[in-house]
C-alpha cells in the first residue's frame, strides 16, 4: 500500500501536531483568564449548545427516511439514556468550550459502561495513523493514563518486524492490536514509554477525539484553536494594558518641587545647605522615649505629608524658598488605543458587538432577539459561523451515539438518521416569515386574474422554485387522489 510505496520505512506515520502544541495549551489557559476572551468563549459555547425543548438534550434528530413511531421512540429513549450516562446536560457546555479553546478534546470510552472519561489534551503526545487507510488514526499515545484504564484500553504499540528494507508483512507484524492485559512495550520501540513520561498506547477504538480539524492543514489530525487567530492581538492588548498601568502608577501621583534660596553661596556650600534643608523637612522632632539625659529630642523619618504646612523665611525684597506642585500624568482617561485592540480581539472571535455587555465595537447595546425589528448583519454572520463550528464537532457525537445504539443491541438502521446540535438562532426562519407575509396577499390577488398561469404565479409572486413546485404537485395529487378523474 501507500505506506510501503511512498516511504522507505514500514513504521506508521506519527502525528504530533504543531511543534509547540503543548506549550500553546498553557498559553490558551492564560488567555482564558482575560475577561473579553472568557466572555467570547462563553458566548460561542452557549450559542452552539442550545437545549432541545422536545427531548431535553442538546441534540436534535434529523431523519433521512421515513421512520415508524416505534423507531422514533426507541431512538429518542436511547438518546436520553446516552445523554444521562455521560451527563451531557451539565458537561456539554464545558466540552464544546474546551474544543473551541484548545482545538481538541479527548475522552477515553470505558469498554464496559461506555462512559466518557476526560483526558487532558496536553497528555496526548502523538497520534499514530494508518497511511494506507487515508490517514486513519490507529493509536493514541497518552501520558499518565489512569491506572484503571491500563488493562482495559492499553495496547502494544506498532513496531517493525525487524526487516525494514527486505519486505515482510509490514509494520503490523510486530504489534498486537486490540486490548491486552500487559501494557509493557518493547524496549527498542520508538513508541515505547520512558520512565519519566509513562506513555501508554491506546487503541483508537476506545478514544473519542473531538476536533476542529477538517484534515486540510498541517496540524491534522489535531485541531486548531479559535484563539490562535487572536494570539497576536491578545499579546498586543496585554502589553498595552501593562503599559497603561505602569504609566498611571509612575506618573499619576503629583510631586512637589522645593526651590531653596541659597543666596550667593558657593556651589559646594549651596549643595550642603540644600541637603540640610532637605534633612530638616524630612525629619520630625519628637521627645525621646527614654527621656532626660542629653538626647531629649529624637529625629525620626517624616514622609512629606500633604496635610502638613511648610514655612520658609523670606527677605524684605521678596526673595526666599518656595514649594510648587508638579501636575500628575495627563490624558489618563484616554483609552481609545486600548479600546481599539479590544474591539479587534472581539472581531477576531466573530462575536457581534451587540452581544457584549459594553457594546464594544459600534455601541449597539440594545437587546435584539431577531423577532422584533431587523437583525444586525453581524448577528446573521455569527449564526452561520456557529453552525459551521457545530458541523465540525457534531460528527463525532453522531458516530458515538450510533455506536452506542449498536452496542446496546437496538435493531435500528443507523443510516436512516443523524443527530445534530440545535441551531443557535434561526434568523432565516424569521426572514422567511416576513417574506411570506408580504408575498401571500400579492399572490392571492394575482392568482385571481384568469389569464395568469397558476404555476407562473407560484414561481413569480410566491417565490417557489421548480423543485418546490414539483414537490407541491406530488403532495397535492396524494391528498386529492380520490377526486382526480382519469
pLDDT of residue 91 exceeding 70 = yes
The verdict on whether omega for the bond into residue 10 sits within 30 degrees of 0, i.e. cis, is no
SS3 string, 372-418, reads CCCCCHHHHHHHHHHHHHHHHHHHHHHHHHHHHHHHCCCCCCHHHEE
pLDDT digits (tens, 9 = 90+) for 217-257: 888 889 899 999 999 999 999 999 988 888 888 777 777 78
pLDDT digits (tens, 9 = 90+) for 280-317: 777 766 676 666 555 566 666 666 666 666 667 777 67
For residues 286 and 56, the model is more confident at: 56
Q: Return mean pLDDT, the chain.
A: 78
Contacts of 206 (CB under 8 A, 6+ apart): 108, 109, 111, 152, 153, 179
Q: How confident is the model at residue 153 (pLDDT cuts 50, 70, 90)?
A: confident
Rounded distance between C-alpha atoms, residue 196 and residue 198, angstroms:
6
Q: What is the predicted pLDDT for the residue at 118?
A: 92
- Confirm if 149 and 183 have CB atoms less than 8 A apart: no
pLDDT digits (tens, 9 = 90+) for 185-205: 434 444 444 444 578 889 899
Per this entry, what is the length of the chain?
Answer: 486
For residues 119 and 295, the model is more confident at: 119
pLDDT digits (tens, 9 = 90+) for 316-359: 677 788 888 777 777 777 788 888 888 888 888 888 877 766 54
First-residue to last-residue Cα distance in the chain = 61
pLDDT of residue 279 exceeding 70 = yes
pLDDT of residue 159 exceeding 70 = no
Q: What is the predicted pLDDT for the residue at 160?
A: 39
Average pLDDT over residues 43-49: 92
Degrees, nearest 5: CA angle 222-225-229: 130
Specify the pTM: 0.70
Helix (H) or strand (E) holding 207: strand 207-211
Nearest to 199 by CA among 256, 248, 141, 146: 141
Q: What is the predicted pLDDT for the residue at 193?
A: 42
Helix, strand and coil content of the chain, in percent to the nearest 5, comes to 45, 15, 40
Average pLDDT over residues 379-383: 83
Q: How confident is the model at residue 117 (pLDDT cuts 50, 70, 90)?
A: very high
Amino acid at each position: 500500500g501507500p505506506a510501503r510505496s511512498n516511504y522507505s520505512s514500514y513504521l506508521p506515520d506519527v502525528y504530533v501536531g504543531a511543534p509547540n502544541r503543548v506549550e500553546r495549551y498553557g498559553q490558551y489557559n492564560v488567555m482564558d483568564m482575560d475577561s473579553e476572551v472568557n466572555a467570547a468563549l462563553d458566548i460561542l459555547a452557549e450559542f452552539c449548545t442550545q437545549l432541545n425543548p422536545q427531548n431535553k438534550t442538546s441534540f436534535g434528530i434529523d431523519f433521512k427516511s421515513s421512520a415508524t413511531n416505534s423507531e422514533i421512540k426507541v431512538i429518542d429513549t436511547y438518546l436520553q439514556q446516552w445523554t444521562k450516562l455521560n451527563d451531557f446536560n451539565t458537561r456539554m457546555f464545558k466540552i464544546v468550550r474546551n474544543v473551541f479553546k484548545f482545538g481538541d478534546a479527548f475522552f477515553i470510552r470505558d469498554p464496559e459502561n461506555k462512559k466518557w472519561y476526560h483526558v487532558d489534551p496536553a497528555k496526548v503526545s502523538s497520534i499514530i495513523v494508518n497511511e494506507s487507510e487515508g490517514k486513519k488514526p490507529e493509536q493514541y499515545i497518552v501520558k499518565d493514563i489512569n491506572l484503571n484504564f491500563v488493562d482495559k484500553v492499553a495496547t502494544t504499540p506498532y513496531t517493525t518486524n525487524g526487516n525494514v528494507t527486505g519486505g515482510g508483512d509490514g509494520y503490523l507484524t510486530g504489534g498486537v492490536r486490540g486490548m491486552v492485559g500487559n501494557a509493557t512495550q518493547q524496549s527498542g520501540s520508538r513508541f515505547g514509554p520512558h520512565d519519566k513520561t509513562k506513555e501508554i498506547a491506546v487503541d483508537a477504538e476506545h478514544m473519542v477525539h473531538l476536533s476542529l480539524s477538517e484534515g486540510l492543514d498541517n496540524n491534522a489530525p489535531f485541531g486548531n484553536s479559535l484563539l490562535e487567530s487572536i494570539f497576536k492581538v491578545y499579546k498586543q492588548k496585554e502589553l498595552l494594558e501593562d503599559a497603561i498601568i505602569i504609566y498611571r502608577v509612575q506618573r499619576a501621583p503629583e510631586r512637589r518641587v522645593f526651590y531653596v534660596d541659597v543666596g550667593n553661596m558657593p556651589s559646594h556650600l549651596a549643595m550642603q545647605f540644600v541637603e540640610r534643608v532637605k534633612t530638616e523637612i524630612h525629619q520630625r522632632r519628637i521627645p525621646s522615649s527614654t527621656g532626660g539625659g542629653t538626647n531629649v529630642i529624637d529625629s525620626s523619618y517624616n514622609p512629606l505629608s500633604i496635610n502638613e504646612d511648610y514655612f520658609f523665611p523670606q527677605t524684605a525684597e521678596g526673595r526666599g524658598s518656595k514649594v510648587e506642585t508638579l501636575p500628575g500624568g495627563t490624558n489618563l482617561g484616554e483609552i481609545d488605543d486600548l479600546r481599539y485592540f479590544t474591539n479587534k480581539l472581539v472581531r477576531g472571535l466573530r462575536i457581534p458587538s451587540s452581544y457584549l455587555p459594553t457594546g464594544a465595537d459600534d455601541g449597539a447595546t440594545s437587546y435584539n432577539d431577531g423577532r422584533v425589528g431587523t437583525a444586525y448583519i453581524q448577528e446573521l454572520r455569527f449564526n452561520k459561523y456557529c453552525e459551521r463550528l457545530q458541523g465540525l464537532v457534531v460528527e463525532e457525537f453522531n458516530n458515538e451515539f450510533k455506536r452506542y445504539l449498536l452496542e446496546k443491541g437496538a435493531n435500528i438502521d443507523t443510516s436512516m438518521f443523524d443527530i445534530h446540535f440545535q441551531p443557535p438562532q434561526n434568523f432565516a426562519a424569521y426572514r422567511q416569515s416576513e417574506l411570506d407575509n408580504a408575498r401571500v396577499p400579492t399572490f392571492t390577488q394575482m392568482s385571481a386574474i384568469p389569464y395568469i398561469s397558476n404555476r407562473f404565479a407560484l414561481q413569480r409572486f410566491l417565490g417557489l422554485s421548480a423543485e418546490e413546485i414539483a414537490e407541491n404537485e406530488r403532495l397535492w395529487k396524494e391528498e386529492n387522489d380520490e377526486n382526480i378523474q382519469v
